[in-house]
């Protein structure tokens, strides 16, 4: 019987601690509203992709500086032949200014 009460008390403590830590994580994260893209650069469809009839989408996530320029970019998915031109287009694009860095996700679609 004592073991049962100890297990129940242990489970309640874990539940309480996990719920309080989840609330703290939400408070530490800044407001993640997406910023409006002011200038979206259209990527150039690569010649190799045209010859191979490669089509599809490339998903890119990047950090946007407060002044609206791309600080970094990472490929989340897409064909490797299309990825580099998508990264170049992402870095040349501009977003509206903000007070802090934000993460933005952009999907570039390629059709032959």
**Segments forming the whole domain that contains residue 2:** 1-30
One domain for residues 44 and 99: yes
The two three-digit tokens of residue 91, written as one number: 């870095």
Kindly state the average pLDDT of the residues 5-23.
Answer: 55
Between 19 and 57, where is the model more confident? 57
Percent share of the chain, pLDDT over 90 = 67
- Identify the three-state secondary structure at position 104: strand
Task: Look at residue 10 in the predicted model and tell me its pLDDT.
Answer: 60
One domain for residues 25 and 43: no
The bridge status of strand 70-77 relative to strand 56-64 is antiparallel
Percent share of the chain, pLDDT over 70 = 71
One domain for residues 17 and 50: no
Task: Look at residue 6 in the predicted model and tell me its pLDDT.
Answer: 63
Q: Report the C-alpha gap between 101 and 66 in whole angstroms.
A: 5
Number of domains in the chain: 2
Task: Look at residue 111 in the predicted model and tell me its pLDDT.
Answer: 87
**Taking CA 14 as the corner, what is the angle to CA 9 and CA 15, rounded to the nearest 5 degrees?**
95
End-to-end distance of the chain based on CA atoms, in angstroms? 71
One domain for residues 70 and 102: yes
Look over the chain and give the mean of its residue pLDDT values, rounded to a whole number: 82
Of the candidates 80, 75, 84, the residue with the CA atom closest to the CA atom of residue 107: 75
If DSSP states are collapsed to H, E and C, what string results for 22-86?
HHHHHHHCCCCCCCCEEECCCCCCCHHHHHCCCCEEEEEEEEECCCCCEEEEEEEECCHHHHHHH
One domain for residues 51 and 81: yes
Task: Look at residue 13 in the predicted model and tell me its pLDDT.
Answer: 52
Q: Domain holding 56: CATH number?
A: 3.30.2420.10
One domain for residues 7 and 55: no
One domain for residues 88 and 59: yes
One domain for residues 83 and 45: yes
Going by pLDDT thresholds of 50, 70 and 90, the confidence category of residue 89 is very high
One domain for residues 93 and 57: yes
The per-residue pLDDT for range 18-30, each reduced to its tens digit, is 554 444 444 444 4
One domain for residues 60 and 96: yes
């Amino acid at each position: 019987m004592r073991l049962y009460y100890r297990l129940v008390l242990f489970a309640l403590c874990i539940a309480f601690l996990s719920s309080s830590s989840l609330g703290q994580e939400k408070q530490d994260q800044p407001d993640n509203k997406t910023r409006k893209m002011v200038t979206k650069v259209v990527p150039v469809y690569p010649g190799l992709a045209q010859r191979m009839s490669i089509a599809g989408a490339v998903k890119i996530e990047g950090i946007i500086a407060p002044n609206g320029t791309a600080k970094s970019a990472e490929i989340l998915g897409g064909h490797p032949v299309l990825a580099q031109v998508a990264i170049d287009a992402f870095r040349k694009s501009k977003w509206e200014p903000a007070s802090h860095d934000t993460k933005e996700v952009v999907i570039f679609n390629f059709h032959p």
